[in-house]
Structure 1
């Protein structure tokens, strides 16, 4: 079973990197995550009633996460039983190697052309912070941080759950991760309803995030990638996001993190690494590290497909 799932993981990683989810297809048939997000959003509007007590909203949020994750797992089970290459195609829907690279590369191209307005617009597609006042350094930092964190959320963690639990595990993870991105916030509206989504996402990312950090540190080829990851990862508010971000900071020899603004409100964050603020050239180097890290993940899946006996 594990050998078959490792081979499925490798095939899906290669297929998604080659094809991705073409924009033309998305315009005709939106990516399934869009529908999943709409379902979670509808459940939140219906069940997260401000007049309900905190405990009731937590229960409703937990039921929502369990419901969407269970339904996603059942869909994954059905997809795994499809004939021919269909399971591989179904698995590519849970991965985001190509789209992540393309989105970050668009930021790099704009910075390299000294088009700050276009760079701000491009980075605004992949980060939640305010981008209108970012200078070139701020744009580069935002893009690098998003690339590092999303390497886990969009590539390593989905591949991990695909290899460990097949398509049901992959789809369940995507459901939980999508729920966390939509409702797993600390603001008063979502604090109780999104508690289960945030905690479940934390648990499901514990191993993948550390693996993602290790892959980035290895791909970077510098001891500082490992040193900064082990030194600074624990400073992040998230138990997981700091691992790939700190590894990327060390691998590049730059400083990431620090205060940012969300919807006009300044938020203090820890810093990762001891170097200078990143530049457009560092963003391009980060993309190279990301590509090599993806290659290392492919290699791990290939080895798993050969050595696992069951």
Structure 2
């Protein structure tokens, strides 16, 4: 399968969402339980599938009904075609990719236990090429709702914030050191409990003694316009100028949680692009993400377009 063109100005179509982030090939082993330090376990199955936080969020946004452009970096290897296959099939605009001949496509090594819990090791590979210079070269196509994460270099994220001509959704996962102004540009900042504490510390406030709601409130007090704290099966806390709301999740039988957080972010961005309020978008995103954990894999578990109702 040929890779898309890499000329950043060759394809210019209007989109609802621009996702700038990582592409990985996920190598997933299922195990009866996650191993402890120094322990060797026999696995059950091994699969190769598309992944990467950026790619996952781009596909989720597309499946949630948005038109999506994806800016990322891949290698010149066979893994690149595997990693991009579902995005290409879904009609995501891949005309602005960087292909690095010196680095392999990023890889994620994932173990998933019988309860659907996982641990993940990411080898960035070509994702490290999506730096500030590469993003600046593509600044003319950073439009619509702009979705960012922490799996590319920090100066790439900062350049994307500077280039954004629309609302910035920053999923600071993993938490990387960013300029304060880049974090405060988020509307919303999307983090889980641990990421929220690390981000608050990065902004100069000690999170010790604060519960989840306290961390969210403190992030807002630091100047973040809006915050969504994802809480796994408990749903999310959503806070903006209208107040703070608990958004419940949906009770499902979990098979594999891989990529569920990314599904939430992509679906959230899609509904924000459609004009919904942050709480409305988060309610849909919680249902969308819950649906994904009932199937194995990351992108492979994402529901088809229209499969998750916009109505609660």
Please give the TM-score of this superposition, normalised by the length of structure 2: 0.27
Higher relative contact order, structure no. (Cα contacts within 8 Å, ≥ 6 residues apart): 1
Between structures 1 and 2, the one with greater helix share: 1
Please give the TM-score of this superposition, normalised by the length of structure 1: 0.27
Between structures 1 and 2, the one with greater strand share: 2
